[in-house]
Structures are given as C-alpha cells and as structure tokens.
Chains A and B, each alone.
Chain A
Amino acid sequence: MNEPSVVSKIPIIKLGRYLLVPIQVDMTDHMVGDLQTSVLEAIERTGAKGVLIDISVLEMVDSFIGRTLSGIARMAAIMDAAVVIVGMQPAVAITLVELGLEMKGIDYALNIENGMTLLNQRLREIDL
C-alpha cells in the first residue's frame, strides 16, 4: 500500500487543562486516522479534560473526516474528556447538513474563546 511520502503532523497544544488541535491543512485519510490516535494519546499523557479542535481553516469536511471526528469525541468521552469543534465555516456546515452526516457526542463553538467557555461550563456541570 502506498503511504504518503511527506507526512505533516497536526500540532496538539496544551492550553491549561485543555488541548488545542488546530487543523490547518487538507488532511489525507492517513493523517485523519493518525490524528485520532494522537489526540487520545495526548489526553492520556496530559490528563486533559477537554479538546478544542479548530477547523476554522478547513474548507471541506467529508463523511470520512466527520465520522472520525465523531469517533474522537466518543473515545475522548470514555477517557473523561469533552470535545468541542471550533470555527466551522458556513459552507462546510451547510454541506455537512446536506450530506446528512450526524456527528454525535460533539459540541460546537464559534471560536476558541467560546469553546473554552463551553468546556468550563461542561466541567462545572460535571463537578456539581
């Protein structure tokens, strides 16, 4: 099987007790799969309670990427971390709805700031 010759990794940045994952390239299926593994490993390593996946630069989310993101959220939840997808572009949102893809277990926020507020809220709810 052919592997891509140049593999760029998506950075995972620690933001307090959360992780920030800015996706800034058009990802190959391989990269998407790697991302899932990397995020879960990072959650384990850092004990992060929340993950912000920033897709404000992504111009397309197809069913494969969508299902993988959904998968990340479900697996992260099992590891006690919430996932928030941040900055989805309008054209991407409309297309996803028309595609009929249901992404369960994910929260959505307009930007990183709102995303963090949302995660703080979720954590307060759990702590109560």
Chain B
Amino acid sequence: MDSARKASPVNGPSIKNLHERLNRLEDILASAAAMKLDVRVPVTEDDELASTEEAINVLLEDFSALLTERRQAERELQAKLQTIQRQQDAINELSTPVIKVWEGLLVLPIIGTLDSQRTLRMMESLLQQIVATGSRMAILDITGVPVVDTMVANHLIKTITAAGLMGAECILSGISPTIAQTIVHLGIDLTGIKTKSTMQEAMRYAIRANGQKIVTVKPVEDEAGPEESRADE
C-alpha cells in the first residue's frame, strides 16, 4: 500500500516496498517461532531483499521437514514403548503360571530371578488358584530359579505356610545341590516343608498322597468279532 518510496541511497540500490516486506517477514518469522511452519514468504521482487526472502523460505522448508520427521519419530517411539509394556505384561503373566495338572493338583513352575514384587504376586496368585480350583496339593518347582537368597526363601516359606493354613500342601521341587547348600549356609529352616529334588519325584509323591498310582496298561489286540478268539498273552 505504501507508495514506492525511494530509500535514501546510503548503500546500494533501493528496495521496493521495504517496510511492507519487512513487516511480512516479521510476521512469518513470528509464525515460525510459534511452530506454524506452513507459511512462506511471497517473493515478488527481484532484489537483494528477495534473495533473503527466498533464503528464509528455504529455511522454513527445512524446518518443516525436520519437525515432521521428529513428530514421526516420537510416534514410533511411543508405539515401541507400548509394545515393550505389553510384552512386559505378557512376560509377567507367563512367568508365574499356575497350572492345574489334574483334579486337586497345581503346579507352579517358577522361572527366572525372583524379586520381592514378583514373589508376592506369585504367592497371591497361587493361593487364589488353590481356592478357585479346590486343589489340595501344589508343586512349587524352582529348577529355573538361579539364585535363592534369604528373602526369596522367606517368601517361599511364607507362601507354603499360608497354603497350609488354607488346607493345601505345597511341595518344593527342583532343588539343586547348589541351592541346597545355600539354604543350609544361610541357616534357612525348612522344617515341615516337603522338598523333592525333581519335579518327577514331587509328582510321584503327590499322586501317592492322593491315594492314586500310575499304571502301565498292556496293549490288547482289537476284538474282530465274536467268532474270533482273542490273541491275548
């Protein structure tokens, strides 16, 4: 709107619409500072200021691209973090499964290092399952537990004692020679707690204690019909 005022020629040729264009540049730079990067300077003249205007447009272009990249990267990071959390949850669930092997018997295969939190969760889960399934026996297998310290041992003992108060017997299995030595060295008292070195032994005990046994059934040849006699042994 300004009339083309001739700037006093102090240095170099005059620049058309200087004030207008400077104002516009200010506005656009302010927009950019406010993260509104979809603005560009309209370049209509072909003078010294024009090259600055173009340079600013290039800058805005670059910034815009960078910002888009960054936002994309943030979204991907968020998605990855969510995946990690989901996987962590899945690991937590998997790592403390309580398996109903058959009527009245639960098996809790404990794998990995036990910390206080995990052990408490495991304890509550087992006790709840005992009630839910009405199981009188549970095998806690620690074959997959590398280290047993006093805290872990105490939590296990607490779980087993609590189960006893509820009317269920727990058998501790998978005790390696190393863990057996640790337990004695730490002065941990396992009196009253049934222990077996392997899960197999524990299962055998549980079956016997339930008044049952496993029997091998001899294979018998199929009966073809009433006329045929059975080819029995």
Q: In whole angstroms, what is the CA distance A111 to B136 when docked?
A: 10
How far, in angstroms, from A61 to B135 measured CA to CA in the complex? Answer: 23
B residues neighboring A (CB under 8 Å): 123-124, 127-128, 130-131, 134-136, 158, 161-168
Query: Given that A97-B158, A114-B136 are known contacts, is A90 also in contact with B168, CB under 8 Å in the complex?
Result: no
Closest chain A residue, CB of each to CB of B161: A97
A109 contacts the other chain (CB 8 A): yes
Does A86 reach chain B (CB closer than 8 Å)? yes
Total residue contacts A-B, CB cutoff 8 A: 54
- Check if A110 is an interface residue, CB within 8 A of chain B: yes
Interface of B is mostly: helix
Residues of A within 8 A of B127 (CB): 90, 93-94
- Across the interface, B128 reaches (CB within 8 A) one of A87, A90, A109, namely A90
User: Which of these, A94, A96, A110, A115, contacts B131 with CB under 8 Å?
Assistant: A110
| A108–B163 CA distance with the chains assembled, in angstroms | 10
Report A's interface with B, CB cutoff 8 A. 85-90, 92-94, 96-98, 103, 108-111, 114-115
Cα-based distance from A98 to B123 in the complex (angstroms): 13
A108-B158 contact, Cβ under 8 Å, with A90-B131, A93-B127 = no
The residues of B that contact A90 with a CB separation of less than 8 Å are 124, 127-128, 130-131, 162, 166
Q: Which residues of B contact A96 (CB under 8 A)?
A: 162, 165
Inside 8 A of A92's CB, which chain B residues have their CB? 165
- Check A108–B162 contact: CB distance below 8 A: no
The 7 closest A-B pairs by CB, nearest first: A90-B127, A93-B162, A109-B167, A110-B167, A108-B167, A93-B165, A97-B161
Contact residues in B for A94 (Cβ distance below 8 Å): 123-124, 127, 158, 162
Told that A110-B131, A110-B135 touch, could you supply 20 new A-B pairs with CB distance under 8 A?
A85-B165, A87-B166, A89-B131, A90-B130, A90-B166, A92-B165, A93-B163, A93-B165, A93-B166, A94-B124, A94-B127, A96-B165, A97-B161, A97-B162, A108-B164, A108-B167, A110-B130, A111-B134, A114-B134, A114-B167
B166 with A108: CB separation less than 8 A: yes
Shortest CB-to-CB span from B134 to chain A, Å, is 6
Complexed CA–CA distance, A86 and B165 (Å): 9
Q: With a CB–CB cut-off of 8 A, which chain A residues contact B130?
A: 90, 110
- CB-CB < 8 A to A88: which residues of B? 165-167
How far, in angstroms, from A114 to B134 measured CA to CA in the complex?
9
- What would be 19 A-B contacts, judged by CB atoms less than 8 Å apart? A86-B167, A87-B166, A90-B124, A90-B128, A90-B162, A93-B163, A93-B166, A103-B165, A108-B164, A108-B165, A110-B134, A110-B135, A110-B136, A110-B167, A110-B168, A111-B134, A111-B167, A114-B167, A115-B167
